């Protein structure tokens, strides 16, 4: 939860220098999650403008989603490139290069040409190249955040995970707000013609603004840290394989629910229920607010020790909630309550997953472990697994004419989530072998003592 993470950071007794370093690092995570959600919201417009139609009777969705995932697959390469270049180059030049890549790639998505019958593949090539550049830049940005935190606050670097996770949630909420404003101010025809490009232009401006803030206020890394050894965070697999796999699964179920709530549900309301985009944006906006409030109240009774048990309850409730949503969508009844249930679960997963995950890694690598697991969880569980599910659904649809798009989509979604729930229940079963919450509990006691004194 955004408020809870920020509140804890303020109560930890960190110095102004440490707070500034965490704030600067969290700015990049805001941009990354904003881009993730906005791309999903704009899927319908990409299909129409790139392919020249909004039909579901072809492989448009599979192709577009594949291009989307390519960007996330490039993240580890971006981390590796940063770890090789940053120690021997001026960091202002490196940060400027990363920002330029983000601006150019995001602007390219917003200014991509519409469907051209003669060279219909050209927009796809442009979009694919833009996603590759953006993926490299985001991977380098993540490694840069961890590198800066390690140098500037080595004693309290594990606390920076709270700031970065808060940045993730702020970026997600910012995308929801932008989408709501877009659908409120522009008509469907205006959105289809040109207004869908505005969120990407805003994203490019946001990237430039973040760079200028860091350039003006961020503390410089001194020459004594030149030629330092930067270990890419993906090498955590070598030292903590079991913990990393469990953490990726936990982050993956959170990412899968985010994908379901913010991308799949709007998609089905538009294509299957034929809701207006204005109504869809209102439903998502209102349910996200209510879900966040309910989750905040539940969070007050959550601790690091009972978080695994509460997460298990949420996992058990997830499949019935998904089935309720499917039935409500099929009959077009009680759609609002079914989406609200998933919104509440999505918000609960947000704070429960990070608490359970925190005990899997020692304090020295907690920031790197949680950040890497969050990213890889989204890549595999909110990226590759749905992509495989969509691909198999298309094969099933082509092999049997009795199946409809509607039926195949919901069966594929339910099976995909069932697999993730089963994997995470097994991960929670293995959790006592690897997790240790002793130092986190001591920090919590320190926070409570400070709260009582104040």
CA 258 to chain CA centroid, nearest Å: 7
CA 315 to chain CA centroid, nearest Å: 19
State the Cα–Cα distance between residues 327 and 344, nearest whole angstrom. 18
Q: In the chain, pLDDT over 70 holds for what percent of residues? A: 80
**55 pLDDT more than 70:** no
**168 pLDDT more than 90:** no
Mean pLDDT lowest among 110-114, 198-202, 228-232:
228-232
State the Cα–Cα distance between residues 305 and 301, nearest whole angstrom. 11
Q: Are 72 and 378 in contact (CB under 8 A)?
A: yes
The fold adopted by the segment(s) 16-231 is: Growth Hormone; Chain: A; (1.20.1250)
Determine which helix (DSSP H) or strand (DSSP E) holds 447, and give its type and residue range. helix 438-453
What was the pLDDT predicted at 132? 92
Q: Do domains 16-231 and 233-454 have the same CATH topology?
A: yes
Q: Are 141 and 214 in contact (CB under 8 A)?
A: no
Strand residue runs (E) in 370-420: none
* CATH classification (class only), 233-454: mainly alpha
Q: Work out the angle at residue 368's Cα, subtended by the Cα atoms of residues 364 and 371, and round it to the nearest 5 degrees.
A: 140
Residue with tokens 């370093």: 21
Q: 451 Cβ partners below 8 Å, 6+ apart?
A: 11
pLDDT digits (tens, 9 = 90+) for 201-210: 999 898 888 8
- Phi, psi for residue 110 in degrees, rounded to 5: -75, -25
Give the residue-averaged pLDDT of 75-81: 84
What was the pLDDT predicted at 190? 85
pLDDT digits (tens, 9 = 90+) for 398-422: 666 666 777 777 888 888 899 999 9
- Spell out the domain ranges in the chain: 16-231, 233-454
Nearest to 134 by CA among 91, 78, 85: 78
Q: In the chain, pLDDT over 90 holds for what percent of residues? A: 11
Q: 321 Cβ partners below 8 Å, 6+ apart?
A: 338, 341, 342, 345
What was the pLDDT predicted at 191? 82
- Phi, psi for residue 133 in degrees, rounded to 5: -65, -45
State the Cα–Cα distance between residues 80 and 406, nearest whole angstrom. 41
């Amino acid at each position: 939860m955004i408020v809870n993470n920020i509140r804890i950071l303020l109560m930890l007794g960190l110095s102004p220098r440490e707070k500034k370093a965490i704030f600067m690092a969290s700015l990049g995570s805001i941009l990354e999650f904003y881009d993730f959600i906005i791309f999903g919201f704009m899927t319908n417009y990409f299909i129409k403008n790139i392919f020249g139609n909004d039909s579901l009777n072809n492989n448009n969705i599979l192709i577009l989603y594949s291009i989307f995932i390519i960007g996330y697959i490039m993240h580890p390469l971006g981390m590796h490139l940063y770890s090789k270049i940053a120690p021997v180059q001026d960091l202002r030049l490196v940060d400027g290069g990363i920002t330029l890549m983000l601006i150019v790639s995001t602007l390219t998505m917003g200014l991509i040409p519409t469907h051209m019958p003669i060279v219909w593949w050209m927009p796809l090539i442009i979009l694919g190249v833009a996603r590759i550049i953006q993926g490299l830049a985001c991977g380098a940005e993540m490694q840069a955040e961890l590198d800066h935190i390690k140098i500037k606050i080595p004693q309290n670097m594990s606390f920076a995970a709270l700031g970065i996770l808060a940045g993730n949630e702020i970026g997600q909420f910012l995308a929801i707000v932008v989408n709501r404003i877009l659908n409120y101010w522009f008509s469907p025809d205006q959105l289809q013609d040109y207004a869908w490009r505005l969120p990407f232009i805003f994203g490019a401006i946001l990237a430039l603004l973040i760079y200028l803030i860091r350039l003006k206020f961020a503390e410089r890394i001194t020459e004594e840290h030149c030629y330092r050894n930067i270990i890419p965070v993906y090498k955590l697999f070598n030292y903590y394989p079991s913990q990393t796999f469990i953490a990726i699964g936990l982050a993956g179920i959170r990412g899968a629910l985010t994908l379901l709530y913010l991308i799949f549900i709007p998609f089905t309301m538009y294509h299957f229920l034929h809701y207006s985009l204005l109504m869809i944006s209102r439903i998502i906006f209102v349910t996200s607010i209510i879900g966040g409030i309910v989750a905040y109240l539940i969070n007050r009774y959550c601790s690091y020790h009972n978080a695994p048990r509460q997460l298990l309850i949420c996992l058990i409730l997830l499949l019935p909630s998904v089935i309720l949503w499917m039935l409500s969508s099929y009959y077009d009844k009680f759609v609002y309550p079914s989406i609200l249930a998933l919104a509440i679960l999505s918000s609960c997963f947000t704070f429960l997953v990070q608490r359970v995950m925190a005990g899997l890694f020692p304090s020295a690598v907690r920031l790197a472990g949680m950040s890497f697991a969050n990213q890889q969880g989204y890549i595999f569980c909110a990226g590759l697994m749905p992509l495989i599910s969509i691909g198999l659904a298309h094969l099933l649809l082509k092999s049997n004419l009795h199946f409809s798009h509607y039926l195949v989509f919901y069966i594929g979604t339910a099976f995909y989530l069932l697999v993730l729930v089963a994997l995470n229940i097994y991960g929670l079963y293995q959790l006592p072998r690897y997790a240790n919450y002793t130092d986190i509990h001591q920090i919590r006691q320190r926070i409570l003592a400070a709260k009582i004194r104040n």
